[in-house]
Structure 1
Amino acid sequence: MKTIAVLTSGGDAPGMNAAIRAVVRTSIYKGLKVMGIKKGYNGLINGNIEEMNLSSVADIIHRGGTILRTARCEEFKTDEGLNKALNVIKVFGIDGVVVIGGDGSFQGAKKLSDAGVPTIGIPGTIDNDLAYTDYTIGFDTAVNTVLDAVSKIRDTSTSHGRAIILEVMGRDCGDIALYSGLAGGAESVIVPEEGFDIDVVCKKLIQGKNRGKLHHIIIVAEGVGKAYEFGNEIQEKTGIETRVTVLGHIQRGGSPTAFDRILASKMGSRAVELLLEGKSGRVIGVKGNELFDKEINEALKVEREFDRDMYDLTRILSI
Structure 2
Amino acid sequence: MIKNIAVLTSGGDAPGMNAAIAAVVKTALSNGIKPFVVKDGYRGLVNNDLEEVDLKFAQNILSKGGTVIGSARLPEFKEEKVREKAIANLKKRKIEALVVIGGDGSYQGAEKLTKMGINCIGIPGTIDNDIVSSDLTIGFDTALNTVVRSIDQIRDTIESHNRCMVVEIMGNGCGDLTLYGATATGAEIFSTKESFLSEDEIVAETKRLKSINHRSVVVAVAEQLFDSHALAKRIQAESGYETRATILGHIQRGGTPTAMERYWATHFGIFAVNELLKGNGGLYIGLSENKIVARDIESTLNAARKNKSEEYNAIRKINRGN
Classify the TM-score, shorter chain: over 0.9
Is 1:132 aligned to residue 130 of structure 2?
no
Secondary structure, counterpart of 1:167 in structure 2: strand
Q: Which residue of 1 aligns with 2:54?
A: 53
Q: Which residue of 1 aligns with 2:186?
A: 185
Q: Secondary structure at the match of 2:273?
A: helix
Residue 68 (structure 1) aligned with residue 65 (structure 2): no
- Secondary structure of the residue aligned to 1:58 is helix
* CA–CA separation in structure 2 for the residues paired with 1:272 and 1:66: 19
Aligned equivalent of 1:252: 253
For 2:293, the aligned partner's letter is F
User: Is 1:152 the equivalent of 2:120?
Assistant: no
What's the counterpart of residue 286 of structure 2?
A: 285
Of stretches 22-31 and 204-213 in structure 1, the one that deviates more from structure 2 is: 204-213
Query: Match for residue 173 of structure 1?
Result: 174
Question: 1 CA distance for matches of 2:241 and 2:226?
Answer: 21
Which segment is superposed worse, 112-121 or 309-318? 309-318
Per-residue CA deviation, residues 47-89 of structure 1 (Å, 9 max, x unaligned), is 1100010011123222110111111112322222111101101
Deviations 1:129-183 (A, max 9, x none): 0111111111111111000000111111122222101101113111000000111
User: What one-letter code is carried by the residue in structure 1 that aligns with 2:311?
Assistant: M
Aligned 8 A contact 2:100 2:107 in 1: yes
Q: TM-score, normalised by structure 1?
A: 0.97
Return the alpha-carbon distance in structure 2 between the equivalents of residues 286 and 29 of structure 1. Answer: 24
Query: SS state of the match for residue 284, structure 1?
Result: strand
Deviation at 1:199, TM superposition (A): 3.2
Does the 8 Å CA contact 1:191/1:223 hold for their aligned counterparts?
no
1:127 shift after superposition: 0.5
CA contact (8 A) 1:186 1:217 kept: yes
Assess if the C-alpha contact under 8 Å between 2:123 and 2:285 holds in 1: yes
User: What is the one-letter code of the residue matched to 1:177?
Assistant: T
State the Cα distance separating 1:234 from its structure 2 match: 1.5
Query: Within 5 Å, which residues of 2 pair with 1:73-152?
Result: 73-152=74-153
Letter paired with 1:144: N
TM-score (structure 2 length as normaliser): 0.96
| Distance (Å, rounded) in 2 between the aligned partners of 1:318 and 1:204 | 12
Matched residue type, 1:183: A
Deviation of the 1:27 alpha carbon? 0.4
Aligned residues between the structures: 319
After superposing the two structures, state which structure 1 stretch, 197-206 or 80-89, moved more.
197-206
What is the CA deviation profile of residues 267-298 of structure 1, one whole-angstrom value per residue up to 9, with x for unaligned ones? 00000000000100000111111010111011
Asked if residue 308 in structure 1 is aligned to residue 306 in structure 2, the reply is: no
Once the two structures are superposed, what CA deviation does each residue of 1:26-51 show, in whole Å capped at 9, x if it has no partner?
A: 00001101101010000110011000
Structure 2 CA distance, aligned partners of 1:152 and 1:279? 47
Q: Does 1:298 find its partner at 2:288?
A: no
Per-residue CA shift, 1:204-256, capped at 9, x if unaligned?
32333333322110111003232122212222221222101111111011111
Name the stretch that deviates more: 183-192 or 217-226: 217-226
- Superposed, 1:38-49 pairs within 5 Å as 38-49=39-50
Alignment of 1:207-246 (within 5 A): 207-246=208-247
Gaps of at least 5 residues in structure 2 are none
Q: Give the secondary-structure state (helix, strand or coil) at the position aligned to 1:136.
A: coil
| Structure 1 counterpart of 2:220, one-letter code | I
Identity of aligned residues (%): 44
**Structure 1 residue aligned with 2:206:** 205
Does the 8 Å CA contact 1:189/1:314 hold for their aligned counterparts? Answer: no
- In the alignment, structure 1 segments of 5+ residues that lack a partner are none
One-letter amino acid matched to 2:154: I
Distance 1:99 1:225 in 2: 34
